[in-house]
Copies of this chain bind each other. A is one copy, B any other.
């Protein structure tokens, strides 16, 4: 363990070139190298070309961390994800990586899963000086948000609208629920039910509210409400409860507030010998890939994931810019996707 220090550039992991080392080799000052690489017009074309060549030759890449120190911007965006039981978070993550990269930012993965953020993770948020934080979790993540606020780090929630204070981008969940209710009613369904998600999530509650509103508007009785959760298993349990009901009381249409939930419901119903959509229509919301194909072919309201992440990053970047913008909530309309899990009017 007490190896003699290796001669530079030999043996050990090749020491990475720095502005300093480039400067020495080019016979100029470090500041000149820095300016040349950043395209400062004050540096002559000749010198700039020489340094650029040297940089390419040595494979120089600037140390983003060192730059952060002086610029105050890390180029890092903290990402908080919900539980992976719901595939929608994975899809969001993939979208976020791509789009963040396209904008020159990197994602620092702070959390993925249930529950609040651990202390150590919360510290990372400040220790790594993230420029902003993207919280794509339907669950309460007030902890992360509070820490961001306390440190002047902009936050944008995606897929969750907080009661106050933070900026957010979400699908117009209320409208989605309402639209589905309207369609189901128009198709002649009379006993509607909703399987809710986590009660803490605005996504779930707004969808359920919208659904109830749509049902009321159609002059039907309020929907039966079944407590679901975040997973397929939760939906399955709710579906079993529904299937166990005596036929006259059994709903003829069920809205699972998220696609995984609806998938679980369908599976339970079918396993109980009921036909979907023959006996019961099932609809969901989210638009995840797995629900699109067989055996589900789930009729759903798809969230415009790409646009949601895009607008989320827009909001974040604008606030990172330092502008003292007011908090902003953006609601994007989902799009109804008619598939075959529900009887709907033509």
Interface residues of A (CB under 8 A from B): 12-14, 16, 59, 61-66, 68-69, 74, 76, 79, 83-85, 87, 89-91, 93-94, 97-98, 101-102, 104, 106-113, 118, 120-121, 123-124, 126-129, 150-152, 231-233, 236, 264, 267-268, 270-271, 289-290, 293-295
Contacts and interface: CB of A to CB of B under 8 A. Distances in A.
A65 B68 contact: yes
Contact of A112 (B13, B93, B127): B93
Contact of A108 (B13, B109, B264, B289): B109
Contacts of A14: 151-152
Nearest to A60: B126
A59 B125 CA distance: 13
Nearest to A296: B267
Contact of A295 (B12, B16, B271): B271
Contacts of A264: 293
A64 B127 CA distance: 5
A142 to B, nearest CB: 18
9 contacts: A14-B151, A97-B110, A97-B112, A106-B108, A106-B110, A106-B128, A108-B108, A109-B109, A264-B293
Contacts of A90: 84, 87, 89-90, 93
Given A84-B90, A101-B118, A108-B108, A65 B74 contact: yes
A38 B175 CA distance: 54
A12 B72 CA distance: 14
Nearest to A125: B61
Contacts of A84: 87, 90-91, 93-94
The 5 A-B pairs of least Cβ separation, nearest first, read A13-B152, A90-B90, A64-B127, A107-B109, A84-B90
